[in-house]
Structure 1
Amino acid sequence: MSCCLRFWSRYREPGHISLNEMPQVTLDSNKMGPDCVIVKGGKRVCGTGAALANAPIVQNKAYFEMKIQSGGIWGVGLATVKSKLDIIPLGKDSQSWVLRSDGTVCHNDEVLHKIETLPGEGDIISCSYDHVELNLFLNGKSLQCPVTGIRGQIFPIFYVDDGAILDVAFADFAYPPPDGFEHIMFEKNIL
């Protein structure tokens, strides 16, 4: 360590957290279905079931992505902690709002939208949420299927079945977020 770095490291302000100590948003192994598997440092989900992120969306405008590594049955969207994480597909209850691999956007067992182009292996689905509306994107282009009426403390959710493998990104995105949207932050990082 150079002499300048040694000098400044002794005079950090109380409560200062270095960048490598900041918590990372990942999939939460404590909030997943019993047959769901999370690997790659909380960035990949496989097996059968759903997993929530380890941070709720508390900021005004949040964005996250998911890449379909292997096809099968899958879904991506938002949910509360009350959502059933072992029941596939999600969107059957009042606690989840998801885009399913069959192209339907569902909530409370109701189809809200049906998209024409079905995503496949290698495609990236993005979600933006501003506490008013969830918007979905396929490879950077809006799917024009906004979802409103989302209530409660909301988490990103992903589910897999039938061999699906999904890689999630809460930072370092493949596509730029819409204007004003950014990665999900922990509440203490916002303050």
Structure 2
Amino acid sequence: MASVLSFVARCCGFGGGESEHVPLKEMPAVQLDTQHMGTDVVVLKSGMRICGTGGCLANAPLHQNKSYFELKIHSAGVWGVGVATKKANLDLIPMGRDAQSLVLRHDGSVYFSNEERSRLPANSSLQEGDVVGVTYDHVELNIYLNGKNMNCPASGIRGTVFPVIYVDDSTILDCQFSDFYHTPPQGFEKILFEQQIF
């Protein structure tokens, strides 16, 4: 009985000696998901760098109302960034050929269902060192280039989506799911894991 009372006292912060702190389980970091990537994709730098050939989903779906993430073009080539469902073919690039992905391609076009839905302004070119920001609000995907809104919204994808990035032709991209290069647009924030309360 004394040991039970001692345990209860320690749990409530009473009693002598060091109190035992039980840490809460930390949420996992959002990163590229090596369980959902193309056959010839290489993911490095703790899930933040992608190279090789093919696409890769992030490990967190976009459940919140307004999500933001970025990529930095480390070595330019053929690439794309946007959102996709888990049904997307991550070996078939460029993505955006079907209803499972909505992506900005390296040439400035935004594709969904094999149809160009939007395009970056004519004076915008995507080069090494550029930072591409992506916002998604469950209806519309928008692109930001080096912190500036490109005003080229696109929509159409349905269901649960994840950030997706694809590469080919010696491209190397670095992903940022937090600690952004640019401040997210008003109302948008980093991707949050859905928390389950029992």
Same-fold call, TM cutoff 0.5: yes
Alignment of 1:1-191 (within 5 A): 7=18, 10-12=20-22, 16-17=24-25, 21-115=26-120, 116=122, 117-188=124-195
Residue-pair matches, total = 180
CA shift at 1:189, angstroms? 7.2
Deviations 1:48-80 (A, max 9, x none): 000000010001111000000001000000000
List structure 1 segments (4+ residues) > 6 angstroms apart after TM superposition. Answer: none
TM-score normalised over the length of structure 2: 0.86
What is the distance in 2 between the residues matched to 1:174 and 1:102? Answer: 22
- The answer to whether the 8 A contact 1:171-1:183 is kept is yes
Q: Residues 189 and 74 from structure 1, CA distance in 2 versus in 1: closer, same or farther, beyond 3 angstroms?
A: farther
Q: Secondary structure at the match of 2:195?
A: helix
- The answer to whether the 8 A contact 1:59-1:184 is kept is yes
CA shift at 1:7, angstroms? 4.2
* Unmatched runs of 5 consecutive residues or more in structure 1: 1-5
Q: Secondary structure at the match of 1:188?
A: coil
What is the distance in 2 between the residues matched to 1:190 and 1:137? Answer: 35
Q: Secondary structure at the match of 1:75?
A: strand
- The answer to whether the 8 A contact 2:112-2:157 is kept is no
Aligned residues: CA RMSD? 1.8
Q: Which one-letter code corresponds to 1:93 in the other structure?
A: D
CA shift at 1:188, angstroms? 1.2
User: Percent sequence identity over matched residues?
Assistant: 53
The structure with the largest alpha-carbon Rg is 2
CA shift at 1:22, angstroms? 2.5
Q: Which one-letter code corresponds to 1:139 in the other structure?
A: N
Deviations 1:110-144 (A, max 9, x none): 01122221211000000111112111100000111
CA shift at 1:37, angstroms? 0.5
What is the distance in 1 between the residues matched to 2:98 and 2:156? Answer: 14
What is the distance in 2 between the residues matched to 1:70 and 1:180? Answer: 31
* Unmatched runs of 5 consecutive residues or more in structure 2: 1-16
TM-score normalised over the length of structure 1: 0.89
Q: Residues 172 and 73 from structure 1, CA distance in 2 versus in 1: closer, same or farther, beyond 3 angstroms?
A: same
